[in-house]
Amino acid sequence: MLAKRKTSSDDGEATPTVPEWVTTLARRQFTDNDGEAIGVWFIASKRVENSDLVTQQNRLYLPTDSVAANLVGLLSLEERAMASLVGDTGQPSKRSRTEAEEDEMRKKQKTAGRAHGGLSVRVYARCGFVFYLWLTRWDGSGGTVIKGEELKLFRSFSALKKGDKIDVWAFRRGGELCFAIGRRYEQAWRRIPPFATITVVLKVGMSCEGCVGAVKRVLTKMEGVESFDVDLKEQKVTVKGNVNPEAVLQTVSKTGKRTSFWEEGAPADASASATTA
């Protein structure tokens, strides 16, 4: 996977490497060749705030500095106009008549963009589901947001809560701008000692014994798995072994069942424990 990055994240940390789940999502849109390089851009890291979780607003804020440094340069002039990202991205998008006249060449594009709420984008959750949303600058604050009715579903499938650290990545699908947004767990995995046995607990949407069988089949084939338990009634899958929790999540997700870490928590906490083998 070819990662293209311009700056570090907004909190002073080094820019993360492209995680496996983003790599998989991007490749699925283009090719079955795992060795082919696909352009992926790191956009931002942020903490989920209360304002990102307000159902009535349905908007997810992107850090202003990261938008200016990492996102705007990826957009064509028409896309910037549709997303109202022309000019200073840190200021409210209020323009005088003189400015409007100077931008007459882009007037039609901006009008079209505002008519449907911004620039149409695809947003992918970690589970692989896609949501159709809009990228725009919020008139009141000048902040850049991803918004739309389907943001409710994205939050639900991603099990986001206040304080979660999320990474925002971007790639193109046939020219269309796509975002992959999910919680960052990779740093926690690196703290697990080599040759360790860990326990990963997942919440999996299973409705019948056929679903249970599908989960068991993929786990049986997964390298490093020592044992597992599938509880249909509790919608709970417990896996033990020398495995990467993210890889376990992705493996079970391949069954097509809604899959997340148990109790909306990262596996770095009580939902995943490590003991030296």
Domain ranges of the chain: 2-183, 188-276
Measured in whole angstroms, the distance separating CA 98 from the mean position of its chain's CA atoms is 39
> Which residue has 């417990």 as its token pair?
238
Contact indicator for 132, 178 with CB cutoff of 8 Å = no
The DSSP call for residue 220 is H
Report how far apart the first and last C-alpha atoms of the chain are (Å, whole number): 32
CATH class of 2-183: mainly beta
Contact indicator for 56, 83 with CB cutoff of 8 Å = no
The domain 188-276: what is its CATH number?
3.30.70.100
> What is the residue-level pLDDT of the chain in tens, covering all 277 positions?
445 544 434 444 556 688 888 888 888 776 544 444 568 999 999 999 999 998 888 899 999 999 999 999 999 999 999 999 986 655 544 444 445 544 554 454 444 444 447 999 999 998 888 899 999 988 666 789 999 999 998 988 888 888 999 999 999 888 899 999 998 764 444 444 545 678 889 999 999 999 999 999 999 988 788 899 999 999 999 999 888 888 888 889 989 999 998 864 444 333 444 343 3
Q: How far apart (Å, rounded) are the C-alpha atoms in residues 186 and 197?
A: 17
Q: What pTM was computed for the model?
A: 0.57
